[in-house]
């Protein structure tokens, strides 16, 4: 068995050195390399990142909504009935605590009737106005609502079977559909008091700072909740990964040729909302394409040939397949592919090796039969 393994290894070495084998490798390189002009790189808005080992977060996915934090909502109302004579705040306006927002003409005796000022009890944003100028007002009806939006809560509907993996203080990356270009980080405060029996979920409530006031109650949100973390994981941004589950690949910036990108198969592990674990196919310090990776798949062979790119990079002529020109070998222009195959030293050597392998196997079998 050991002799057979050695002979097979020798056979593979000769195969790798065979011109036809090398030609196949060159064809593969040419087919998987996209070479662009500098203008093409700009037009496709190509961006790359360097592959490195990082802390990889294991996450679970959930959906939910943004809500106002309890205790941050206040209503403005009147103690006496009357009629609205002036509105000094509209939805979306920021008001301070004690600021007059509405003036009300009361129904008390007088000529003219007394007018009272209604002030906001808290600082915040006017979220609703429930009256119009001239509307009657009763003490049991709010005039407007003010909400402090500096801190919100994000309520995730987490499936019951995943809730046990979450711990108070866990973080979540939150994406809001209305603000798709931004990511928000929340921290788990508590769980809801009871599960929803119809959907099989339980509320997980996250605190969510909102210093710029861009978030509003009722916005739909998507959650990637961190349940674990592994150190030293080779990973890439999720935007770099292309293909389907059975054919994953990335585009790697060629280390030698400018504006060249090589389609490289990869084997991936876990995937979260931002990054992908790479099990094989890449090395640290490789530069992978993130923005523009999808467009490269439709760029075909690019706008520059492999020969042109190598000639410009190395300063001398190359073959059409990108290989080096060997001046000592002059292939016959009339030689056919079949002739080249039959004259290849690989096939002669491989025949001898296979014959020797067969003889060794026969003798080993006869020796074992005698024993």
Domain made up of 153-221: CATH architecture: Beta Barrel (2.40)
| pLDDT score at 257 | 87
Q: What CATH number does the domain located at 22-50+241-314 have?
A: 2.40.420.20
DSSP code at position 302: B
Give percent of the chain with pLDDT exceeding 90. Answer: 55
Averaged over 166-185, what is the pLDDT?
91
Residue 302 has pLDDT above 90, yes or no: no
* 43-56 confidence digits (pLDDT tens): 989 999 999 999 99
| pLDDT score at 366 | 59
* 124-141 confidence digits (pLDDT tens): 999 999 999 999 999 999
Residue 282 and residue 236 in contact, taking contact as beta carbons nearer than 8 Å: yes
What are the C-alpha distances in Å from 49 to residues 21, 38, 52, 258, 266? 33, 18, 9, 16, 16
What are the C-alpha distances in Å from 87 to residues 93, 118, 144, 168, 315? 12, 10, 10, 44, 77
| pLDDT score at 315 | 56
**Rounded-to-integer distance, Cα 213 and Cα 183, Å:** 14
Least confident of 178-187, 263-272, 276-285, 325-334: 325-334
Q: Is 160 helix (H, G, I), strand (E, B) or coil?
A: helix
* 233-250 confidence digits (pLDDT tens): 999 999 999 998 889 999
Fold held by 73-147: OB fold (Dihydrolipoamide Acetyltransferase, E2P) (2.40.50)
Contacts of residue 173, defined as CB under 8 A and 6 or more positions apart, other chains included, come to 59, 183, 184, 185, 223, 224, 226, 273, 274
| pLDDT score at 339 | 43
* 198-218 confidence digits (pLDDT tens): 999 999 999 999 988 889 999
| pLDDT score at 181 | 80
**Rounded-to-integer distance, Cα 302 and Cα 283, Å:** 25
- Return the residue matching tokens 């979450």: 166
| pLDDT score at 112 | 87
* Tally of helices (H runs) and strands (E runs) in the chain: 8, 21
């Amino acid at each position: 068995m050991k002799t057979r393994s050695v002979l097979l290894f020798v056979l593979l070495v000769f195969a790798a050195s065979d011109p036809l084998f090398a030609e196949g490798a060159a064809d593969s390189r040419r087919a998987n390399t996209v070479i662009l002009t500098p203008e093409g790189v700009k037009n496709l808005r190509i961006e790359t990142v360097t592959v490195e080992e990082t802390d990889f977060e294991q996450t679970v996915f959930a959906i939910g909504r943004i809500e106002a934090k309890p205790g941050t909502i206040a209503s403005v109302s009147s103690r006496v009935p009357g009629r609205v004579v002036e509105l000094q705040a509209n939805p979306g306006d920021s008001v301070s605590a004690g600021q007059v927002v509405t003036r009300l003409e009361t129904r008390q005796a007088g000529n003219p009737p007394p007018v009272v000022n209604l002030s906001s009890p808290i600082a915040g944003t006017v979220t609703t106005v429930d009256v119009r100028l001239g509307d009657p007002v009763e003490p049991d009806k709010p005039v407007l609502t003010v909400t402090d939006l500096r801190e919100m809560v994000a309520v995730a509907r987490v499936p019951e079977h995943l809730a046990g993996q979450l711990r108070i203080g866990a973080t979540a990356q939150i994406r809001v559909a209305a603000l798709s270009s931004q990511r928000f980080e929340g921290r788990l405060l508590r769980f809801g008091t009871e599960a929803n029996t119809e959907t099989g979920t339980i509320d997980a409530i996250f605190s969510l700072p909102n210093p710029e006031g861009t978030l509003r109650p009722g916005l739909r949100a998507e959650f990637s909740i961190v349940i674990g973390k592994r150190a030293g994981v080779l990973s890439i941004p999720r935007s770099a990964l292309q293909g389907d589950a059975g054919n994953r690949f990335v585009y790697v910036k060629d280390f030698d040729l400018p504006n060249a990108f090589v389609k490289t198969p990869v084997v991936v592990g876990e995937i979260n909302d931002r990054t992908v674990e790479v099990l094989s196919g890449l090395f640290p310090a490789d530069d992978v394409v993130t923005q523009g990776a999808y467009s490269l798949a439709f760029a075909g062979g690019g706008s520059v040939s492999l020969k042109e790119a190598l000639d410009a990079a190395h300063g001398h002529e190359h073959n059409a397949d990108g290989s080096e020109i060997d001046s000592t070998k002059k292939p016959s222009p009339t030689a056919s592919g079949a002739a080249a195959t039959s004259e290849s030293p690989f096939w002669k050597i491989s025949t001898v090796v296979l014959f020797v392998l067969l003889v060794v196997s026969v003798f080993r079998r006869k020796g074992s039969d005698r024993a």
